[in-house]
Amino acid sequence: MPGGTNGSAATTTRTANIILIITLSIASLYFAASFLIPVVLAGLLAMLLNGASEWLEKLGLGRALSAFIPVLAFIGAITVIGLVLSWQINRLTADFAGMKEQVGAKLEALRAWVSDTFGIAVHEQEKLVKEQGKEASNQAGTWLFTIVNTLADVAVNTVLVVVYTYLLIFYRSHLKKAIIHMVPESKKRDTNRIIHKSIAVSGHYLIGLFAMVACLWVMYGIGFTIIGLQGAILFAMICGLLEIVPFLGNFVGSVIALIAALAQGGDAGMVLGVVAVYVIVQFLQTYILEPLVVGQRVNINPLFTIMGLVAGELLWGIAGMALAIPVVGIIKIICDNVPELKPYGILIGPADSPKGKTHHFQALKRKFERK
C-alpha cells in the first residue's frame, strides 16, 4: 500500500508539473509575442538561407560575406515583389474614377431594392448612412493613430528580422555547439540529428511554399485575365501571397477578387468566373501542386494542422498562423527523436496508410512512369 500510494503521488506530481509547464509556456508565448515573433521568423528564414550560405562558404567566401549575400538576395526579392505590387496598385488607381461610378450605380440599385423590399425610404437610408459617417469620422483620428503605430511596429520588426537572420546564419556553428553542450553526452548525437532535420525540413518547406506561391500567381493571373478582371495580376499576387496562411489564405484572396469584380461593375458571368477560377486552382493545388512542390516535407495530419493554425492565431495573430506549420513540424521532429516524446510525434503525424491527395498523386505518378 505505501508503495502504491507513493507511486500514485509521484504520478500526480508529474502530471501537475507537466500542466504547470504547459501553462507557463503558453503564457510566455502570449505575453512575449512582440519579442518572439521576429526571432522565430528570423530563425525560419535562417534555416531557409542556411544552404546558400554553406554553398558560398565552400566557394571560398568568408563567413560574414556568405551570410550577408543570401540575406541581401532575399531582401532584393521581397523588394521586387513590393515594386510589382505598387505598380499594379497604381494602374488600378488610374481606373478608380470609373470604378467609383460603378459602385455608385450598384449602391443606388441596392437602395432601391431595400426600399421596395423592406419599406425603408431612400432618404431614411441616406440619413442612417450620414449618422454612421459622423461616428466613423469621430473615430478617424483613433484609426489613423492605430495605422501609424502598426506601420511603425512593422518597420521596426522588419529591421529586427533582417538583423536576427544575418546573425543567426553568421553564428550558426556557435549556436549549434552551445545547444549540444547543454545536453548530456548520451543525448548529443540525437540532438545533432534533431538540429539537422529541423533545418532541412523547415528549409524545404519554405522553398516549397515559395514555389507554390509562384505557381498560384501564374494560375490566378491567367484565370483572372481570361475573365476580364481589371488588375488581374494584382489580385493574383494577393491570392498567392495569402497562401502563407494555409486553408484560409486563398479563400480570403478570392473573396477580395470577388469584391473587386463587383466594384468594377462585373456581371454575373464575371462573378461566376472568379468562383470558377478559385475552384479550379484549388483542385490543381490540392491534387497536383502540393504533392509535387511541397510534398510531405512537414508530416502533420490535418487535425493538428488546423489546431496549430487556431492556436497560432490566438497567441500571435496572423503572424502565428503563418508560422504555425513549420513550428509544429519542428516540434514533431523533436518528438520523433526523443524516446519519451515519440507517442506525441505519432499523434501529430499522418496516418500509417496515407490516402487522399498524396495517394492520388503517387498513383498518377506511377501511371506515367509505366507509360
* Whether residues 41 and 177 fall in one domain: yes
29-38, 67-76, 360-369: the lowest-pLDDT one: 360-369
Q: Is the dihedral of CA 288, 255, 219, 270 positive or negative?
A: positive
* Whether residues 159 and 277 fall in one domain: no
* Whether residues 218 and 92 fall in one domain: no
67 in Cβ contact with 55 (< 8 Å): no
The yes-or-no verdict on residue 342 having pLDDT over 60 is: yes
Share of the chain above pLDDT 70, in %: 74
The reply to whether 25 falls in a domain is no
- Give pLDDT tens digits for 168-214: 999 998 988 888 888 888 888 888 888 888 888 777 778 888 888 88
User: Dihedral through CA 344, CA 348, CA 352, CA 354, nearest 10?
Assistant: 180
* Whether residues 217 and 285 fall in one domain: yes
* Whether residues 65 and 166 fall in one domain: yes
* Whether residues 232 and 292 fall in one domain: yes
* Whether residues 165 and 281 fall in one domain: no
CA geometry: angle at 204 spanning 200 and 206, to 5°? 120
* Whether residues 345 and 285 fall in one domain: no
Rounded-to-integer distance, Cα 220 and Cα 371, Å: 31
Give the domain extent around 75: 35-97+155-182
Q: Name the range with the highest mean pLDDT among 260-274, 311-325, 351-365.
A: 311-325
**Count of structural domains, the chain:** 3
- Measured in residues, the chain has a length of 371
DSSP secondary structure letter of residue 339: G
**CA 11 to the chain's CA centroid:** 39
The reply to whether 281 falls in a domain is yes
The reply to whether 250 falls in a domain is yes
Burial of residue 275 (number of CB atoms within 10 Å: 0-12, 13-18, 19+)? middle
* Whether residues 167 and 274 fall in one domain: no
The yes-or-no verdict on residue 35 having pLDDT over 50 is: yes
Range 249-265 burial, b when 16+ CB lie within 10 A, else e: bbeebbebbbebbbebe
The yes-or-no verdict on residue 267 having pLDDT over 60 is: yes
Q: What is the mean pLDDT of the chain?
A: 78
- Give pLDDT tens digits for 253-264: 888 888 888 777
DSSP secondary structure letter of residue 184: -
